[in-house]
Amino acid sequence: MKTHSSTEPRASTGSRASTGSLTAWSGYRINLVGLAAFSVVLFWALVALFAPYITPHSVGEMIDLDYFGPMRPGLWLGSDYLGRDMLSRIIYGARYTVGISLAAVSIACFTGVVLGMTSAVLRGPVDMVVSRILDAMNSIPSKLFGLMVVAAVGSSIPVLILTLSVIYVPGAYRFSRALAINIDTMDFIMVARIRGERLPYLIASEILPNIIGPVLADLGLRFVFIVLLLSGLSFLGLGVQPPYADWGALVRENIGGLPFAAPAVIVPSLAIATLTISVNLLIDNLPQKIRDRSAS
């Protein structure tokens, strides 16, 4: 990064990004909304990480004689349709929702970004073929794709991770290719080419450092999409299968409590909402320097 800090890839065109109002003053300072959003994301990450140490009850144990029990001391989030402790189930659900989504988004973005930068550098037939195929994949609605794969090979956690990442490769590809093509026209790339540098060096050392900020922001957005799709599939009964349950599956299994507004169906919905909304807000309020770096 430091080698061509002097060739800063064009100043970003003002605060074109949709909600740059509070971050208009540049620099690496983060505003209040961003900070609050960050704390929520961090909270769920820690919950997912330390789940076995903080659950008050066993996940599968039926401890309440009543089902869809209300919130009360000892059962802070009530009980589910079998009388199990909802708090413990939410805590474990965080593991599946956050874990699967994180794994999928890492695979998707890694593949997409590497392919995108490669296409941008090579251009020509490679770019043409890869772009066409990935565009075609992009024109299959994501839920439909998930539905078809689950119908074909059944649902297990590895299959889910792979499916989710395949679905989001085209998006990551398109985004990073567009960024990389902008960088590819810069003089320092030309110099590197003339120097005789090869593809791996070009993409890893010349292009990647210049697009890493927007790429990371894009990774965050894609994480949200994946959480939404995973929850949607689980809600349809096609995602995480019992005895495991992510938040989407928790909503599904407790949907019978909806007419009594049971916490068992509301709390997992809220958990999904807090996670995705705060990731979105965090990205929207990222310091300008990170978000707009070379982004057009």
Partner 1 sequence: MTSRVPSLILGRLLIALVTLTIVSFAVFFATTLLPGDTATILLGQAATPEAIAGLRTAMHLDDPALLRFVYWIGGLFRGDLGTSYANHMPVATLISGRLANTLKLAGLTTLVSVPLALTLGITAAMWRRTLYDRIVTIATIGVISVPEFVLATLAVLVFAVYLKWLPALSFTYNVDSFSGLLRAYAMPVITLTFGVSAQMIRMTRAAVIETLNTPYVEMALLKGASRPRMVLRHALPNALGPISNAVALSLSYLLGGVIIVETIFNYPGIAKLMVDAVSTRDLPLIQSCAMIFCFGYLILITTADIVAILSNPRLR
Interface contacts to partner 1, rule CB under 8 A: 13-14, 16, 18-19, 21, 132-133, 135-137, 139-144, 147-154, 224, 228, 231-232, 235-236, 238, 248, 251, 255, 258-259, 261, 265-266, 269, 272-273, 276-277, 279-281, 284
208 versus 263: smaller Cβ distance to partner 1: 263
Cis peptide before 243 (omega within 30 of 0): yes
Q: Residue 54 CB, nearest distance to partner 1 (Å)?
A: 25
126 versus 153: smaller Cβ distance to partner 1: 153
Q: Residue 215 CB, nearest distance to partner 1 (Å)?
A: 20
| Best CA proximity match to 217, nearest among 294, 163, 114 | 294
Q: Residue 226 CB, nearest distance to partner 1 (Å)?
A: 11
Q: Residue 146 CB, nearest distance to partner 1 (Å)?
A: 10
d(CA 192, CA 113): 20
231 versus 294: smaller Cβ distance to partner 1: 231
The answer to whether the beta carbons of residues 93 and 271 sit under 8 Å apart is yes
| Best CA proximity match to 170, nearest among 218, 129, 133 | 133
* Residues ≥6 apart with Cβ < 8 Å to 28: 287, 289, 290
**Token pair belonging to 15:** 């605060």
23 versus 210: smaller Cβ distance to partner 1: 23
208 versus 286: smaller Cβ distance to partner 1: 286
The answer to whether the beta carbons of residues 91 and 246 sit under 8 Å apart is no
Q: Residue 248 CB, nearest distance to partner 1 (Å)?
A: 7
d(CA 145, CA 123): 29
